[in-house]
Every structure is written in structure tokens, then in C-alpha cells.
Amino acid sequence: APDTGLLRFITCGSVDDGKSTLLGRLLYDAGMVPDDQLVALARDSRKLHAESPDALDFSLLTDGLDAERQQGITIDVAYRYFHTPRRSFIVADCPGHEQYTRNMATGASTAQLAVVLVDARKGLLPQTRRHSYICALMGIRQVILAVNKMDLVDAREDIYAAITHEYRELADQLGLTSVHCLPVIAPGGDNVGKASSRLPWYQGPTLLELLESADTTVAQAEDFRMPVQWVNRPDASFRGYAGTVCGGRLAVGSEIVVQPAMRRARVERIVTADGDLSEAVAGQAVTLTLDREIDASRGDVIADAARPAPVADQFAAHVLWMGDESLLPNRAYWLKIGSRTVNARITSIKHKVDVNTQAELAARRLDLNEVGYCNIDLDHAIPFESYADSRTLGGFILIDRTTHATVGCGMLDFALRRASNVH
């Protein structure tokens, strides 16, 4: 089968739902556990579970982070790479505790799909709702709901049906457009890498098959956009603008505009490590040379001259607060978007969102892990897209100017005031 690209996904679940076991089993079924590691796994499993000496405890393959968790060390997301003959995967494994919502948001911000795990005995929990809301907020549209521990509810189809029915209602509310559900028994690998004789009423694809056939496209601007990462100027004869195309396509000879200053030029060369291209498309890292010397620097956006990005300095945006100290309106933060950093103030919090129920509540401040819908004021106008159209040009982080810590992430919704130099 052809290689169908790279899928980035995230796994979400509450503690003890079986996340580590499921992920370990997935790696095993994908053939990603080498022999020496299998020998160690058998030995460690025997040591821990004297009552069942022949069973493998797959959670040991992925539980490396647990020690850190127990010591209360703030951890980031663990990214794991694996592949099957059909596709490559990067999975962000995010801890389930509430205090780690910020890590989950980080993992979700680059993912195209979420595997949401629930324990069949418990059904949907507040965490299930919170994780699904955060995934939707961060732009994930595809979810696989894995109802785990089906062996502990006698593999009853009616229990599975009730949970999936409730989840589909939630997914509808959240705008999660593609939802696949399946029953699994993580330790046995039932419906993980192979069909299950213990769950004969389920005839659908396995988890691995669903991951192999998921949509890998991401929301990106239709028109050409490239944030300038750096200006490459090895000598006086060469000046190139390096970056990764984040929307549309560009051909040699195209007319572009450097935003926000709106300087126009034509593309002379599209240079890559593997030689020149006649055309570049979204996802490619390139260096552009132009037909005239113009002033462009890191943070600027090069765009299609006929269809430039809108430019604005006031926005409505969702903000997920990650700071230990509360977000206070009118305090100055650095806002980093694309490759640009500007000064920003949250001028008002319109409401905060109860992440468990999606109810909108009045708020004067945002605390750690809270989500608010805010008005933001920048000291410079920037080219942008709404987050729904472009994660690169619509997603930002907020940085504390004293500690330099990342204290929030946000998603631009729309401009409250457009800059006047754009038509």
C-alpha cells in the first residue's frame, strides 16, 4: 500500500482508563517493540504480576513518565514516533490529571486526530468532556472514541451503545465532525491491532486501521502565505527569505507582498536544500529570492499580492490560560504568532467557558487551565488568519515579560479593528 503521509494524534483519558496499556499495545501490534525490549517486558510483567506470570503488562512500555508524575515534576508532552507499512505516526501522550490541561493543549495544537479513551464501567466523565472540548478548541476535528475494559462489563453491546450515543451528542455540540467509536480490551489487543472474538457484534475497523485511514490534511489558508523565519544573507550578492509555506502555492515569477508593510516584489527563485523549485506548496520549507531589494525581516509574512492576509491590531480570541498566576486584564504580555512577537494586552474577558459543560460564565480573571473569550489589543498591526483557517497564522502564545514563561495559548477568532493600509 502507498505511504499515505504522517498522522499526528493525541491520546486523552483519565487516570486508570487504560491509556498506557492501549498505547503500549498499539506499539506492540504495529511491530514497534524490539525483541530485547519484549524480553525485558516479559520479565518486568512477571515481577509485578506474580498471579499471571505469562501476561504482558503493556502499560510498562509507555509508563516511563509515571515516576516523574508522582514526584510532582511539571512534565511536557511525551511524543512517540512509530510507523506501519501504510503510514507514519507521531503520538502525543498527555497525562490525564486536571493540572496537565496545558500539556494536553500543547499536544493537541499540532494534532489532526484525538483518541479519546473511556472506561466502559464509568462511561463519560467530566474529564472526557473537558478533553474533548480542549481538542475541539485546539482545532482537532477527528476523534476516535475507544470504549475500553469491555471485558469488565461482560462485553455488553448495550453498554457500549449507550456510551457512544452520549458521546456523539457531545461531539455534535463541540463541532467534532468525524467521530469513530469502537470497543476495545487494551491488554488483549482486542480491536487494537486485530479483530476481537470476544466482541463479535463489532464488525468495524480496528484502532490501527482507523489511524491508518484517518484524514491527514490540516486547515490552512488557500492563498499563498509564508511567515519569514529568517533572512539568509551569506554575502552581498544573495538575499533570501527563509520559512515554511503555511498556505496556498507559489510559482517563480509570482507577485508577492511583504506584510504588514505591504511592499511588493516578484519571486525570482525558490531555493531548497535539494535545489531550486518552479513551484512551492504548503508544508515546504523554502528560501525565496525577490527581484528587488525590499525591507523584510523575521516576523513578516510573505503573501499572494492579489490576495494578502487581513491585517489588524485588535482581536476577539479564545485564550487557554497556562500561567500559575492569573491572567489579569490590561497587563502587558508578549504575544508570539507565526514568527512575530508583539506587545499585547487583554483588554477584556467577555466570558470564561466552563470546560466541563461549555457554559459561558462571567469572569474578571482567568486562572490556570481556564479558557476565556477575550478582546486583545496589540501595539502593532499583524497579518493573520482566523485559527479555524490557519493554525500558523491564527494560533498564538502569550509570554510573561518578566519570567519569560509561556502563560497562555490562544486562537484568533476575528479582527475587531482592521488596519487601514489593507483594502
Q: How far is the CB of 264 from ligand GDP (least distance, A)?
A: 54
Of the candidate residues 6, 15, 251, 328, the single one contacting ligand GDP (CB under 6 A): 15
Contacting range for ligand GDP; rule: CB under 6 A; set: 146-154, 166-174, 356-364, 365-373 = 146-154
Q: How far is the CB of 44 from ligand GDP (least distance, A)?
A: 13
Residue nearer to ligand GDP on the CB measure, 33 or 271: 33
According to the binding rule CB under 6 A, does residue 55 interact with ligand GDP? no
Q: How far is the CB of 32 from ligand GDP (least distance, A)?
A: 17
According to the binding rule CB under 6 A, does residue 149 interact with ligand GDP? yes
Contacting range for ligand GDP; rule: CB under 6 A; set: 33-41, 145-153, 258-266, 271-279 = 145-153
9 with 23: CB under 8 angstroms? no
Please list, in sequence order, all residues whose beta carbon lies within 8 angstroms of the beta carbon of residue 266, skipping any fewer than 6 positions away. 253, 254, 255, 256, 290, 291
Site pattern 165..204 for ligand GDP (x: CB under 6 A): --------------------xxx-----------------
Contacting range for ligand GDP; rule: CB under 6 A; set: 29-37, 71-79, 143-151, 316-324 = 143-151
According to the binding rule CB under 6 A, does residue 19 interact with ligand GDP? yes
According to the binding rule CB under 6 A, does residue 164 interact with ligand GDP? no
According to the binding rule CB under 6 A, does residue 148 interact with ligand GDP? yes
288 with 216: CB under 8 angstroms? no
Please list, in sequence order, all residues whose beta carbon lies within 8 angstroms of the beta carbon of residue 80, skipping any fewer than 6 positions away. 23, 27, 62, 90, 91, 93
Q: How far is the CB of 127 from ligand GDP (least distance, A)?
A: 11
According to the binding rule CB under 6 A, does residue 152 interact with ligand GDP? yes
Angstrom distance (rounded) from CA 232 to CA 236: 11
Cell of 178: 468525524
Residue nearer to ligand GDP on the CB measure, 21 or 142: 21
According to the binding rule CB under 6 A, does residue 17 interact with ligand GDP? yes
Q: Which of 245, 261, 254, 339 is nearest to 294 (CA)?
A: 261
Q: How far is the CB of 59 from ligand GDP (least distance, A)?
A: 4
Of the candidate residues 20, 101, 142, 386, the single one contacting ligand GDP (CB under 6 A): 20
Q: How far is the CB of 149 from ligand GDP (least distance, A)?
A: 4
According to the binding rule CB under 6 A, does residue 13 interact with ligand GDP? yes
Of the candidate residues 3, 6, 16, 68, the single one contacting ligand GDP (CB under 6 A): 16
| Residues of the shown chain interacting with ligand GDP in the complex, contacts defined by CB under 6 A | 13, 15-21, 59, 148-149, 151-152, 185-187
